[in-house]
Amino acid sequence: MNITLEIWRQKDAKSKGKFVIYKLNDVSEEMSFLEMLDFLNNTLISKGESPVAFDHDCREGICGSCGLYINGWAHGPAHLTTTCELRMTKFKDGDKITIEPWRSKAFPVIKDLIVDRSVFDKIMQAGGFISANSGAAPEANSIPIPKDNADAAFDAAVCIGCGACVAACKNSSAMLFVSAKISQFALLPQGKTEAKERARKMVAKMDEVGFGNCTNTGSCETRCPKGLKLTHIAKMNREFITAKIVAEKST
C-alpha cells in the first residue's frame, strides 16, 4: 500500500519542531507499525536525509519504551495495544497517518518522537516501593495472601510505564500510573504498613513535577495498552484521604 505520513520533527529539546509530510510507497500489510517506520528511515537515509528518532526496545509490548500519538490516539487506533504491537493491517492504501510524540508538559520532547519520561522514576522514588531490605524477608509462604487480592495486585502491577495515560488525558494527569502502583502495594499485606505514607508522598511528587489533575473523563483507561482500570484511582484517593485524616489527627 501507499501511504502519506505527517510526522513531528524536532532536532532537539531546544529547537522548535514542525510537521513534515512523507509519501511512503510499497508498505506491506505484514509490517508492524514500527517496521513501517524502520522502512521509512531506510528510505530517508538512502536519500541523505535524517531518520526519524523514536523510542523502542522489546518490540513485544512489555518494556514500555515505545509510545506514539497516531492519528490522535495514544498508541494508535487499536485497543489494548502498544505502538510496537500495532500492525499495518489496521491501515489501508491511501491513508494519511499523523504521528506525534506524547504531548505533556511533564514529558518534554528530546528529539522527534522521543520524550523524556524520567518524572515517572521520580514518582517511584518518592514512595513506589516496599521498604524491604535484601535479606530481611520472612519465609515466602509465612503470610498467605487471598488469591483474589493477589490477582487484583497483579492486575494493577501490569503497568508498563509507557505514559499513554498521560498522553491521552486532556489534563496530562498521571493518576492512572500512580494509582496502579499504590493499589498494587496496598492490596498486599507486605505493602500495607507503608500504604498511606506511600500514597501521600507519591501524590505530592506527582503534583510537584507538573502532572495535571483527574477530572474523571476516563481517557486514560481507554488508551492504556494493559487495560488498567479507573478503580485504581478510587483506591488511591481512599488511601490518600485517609492518610490526610491520620496526619491531621496526629498534629
Site for another protein in 67-126 (CB under 8 A): 80-81, 85, 87, 89, 110-111, 114, 116-118, 120-121, 124-126
Closest CB 161 distance from another protein, rounded Å? 6
Q: How many residues bind another protein (CB under 8 A)?
A: 77
Closest CB 188 distance from another protein, rounded Å? 6
CB atoms within 10 A of CB 153: 18
* Per-residue binding letters, 9-48, with another protein (x by CB under 8 A): --xx---------------x-xxx-xx--xx--x-xxx-x
**Sequence-separated (6 or more) residues with CB below 8 Å from residue 168:** 73, 74, 219, 220, 222, 223
Decide: is 131 part of the binding site for another protein (CB under 8 A). yes
Comparing CB distances to another protein, the nearer of 208 and 213 is: 208
Comparing CB distances to another protein, the nearer of 67 and 214 is: 67
* 123, 30 Cβ separation under 8 angstroms: no
- Range list of β-strands (E), 81-172: 96-100, 109-111, 114-115
Q: Which DSSP category does 131 fall into? A: -
Comparing CB distances to another protein, the nearer of 46 and 216 is: 46
- All 3 cell numbers of residue 209? 513535577
CB atoms within 10 A of CB 51: 14
The dihedral over CA atoms of 59, 61, 63, 68, expressed in degrees to the nearest 10, equals 80
User: What are the C-alpha distances in Å from 180 to residues 54, 127, 160, 175?
Assistant: 26, 13, 11, 8
Q: Which DSSP category does 100 fall into? A: E
Comparing CB distances to another protein, the nearer of 13 and 245 is: 13
Site for another protein in 132-161 (CB under 8 A): 132-141, 144-147, 150-151, 153-154, 157-158, 160-161
Comparing CB distances to another protein, the nearer of 10 and 214 is: 10
> Which of 40, 61, 100, 199 is in the footprint of another protein by CB under 8 A?
61
Pair type for strands 96-100 and 69-70: antiparallel
Q: Which amino acid is at 171?
A: N
Stretch that binds another protein, among 97-105, 130-138, 206-214, 228-236 (CB under 8 A): 130-138
> Which of 6, 73, 103, 130 is in the footprint of another protein by CB under 8 A?
130
Closest CB 242 distance from another protein, rounded Å? 20
The CA distance from 75 to 80, in Å, is 9
- All 3 cell numbers of residue 132? 524491604
Closest CB 119 distance from another protein, rounded Å? 10
Site for another protein in 157-196 (CB under 8 A): 157-158, 160-161, 184-185, 188, 190-191
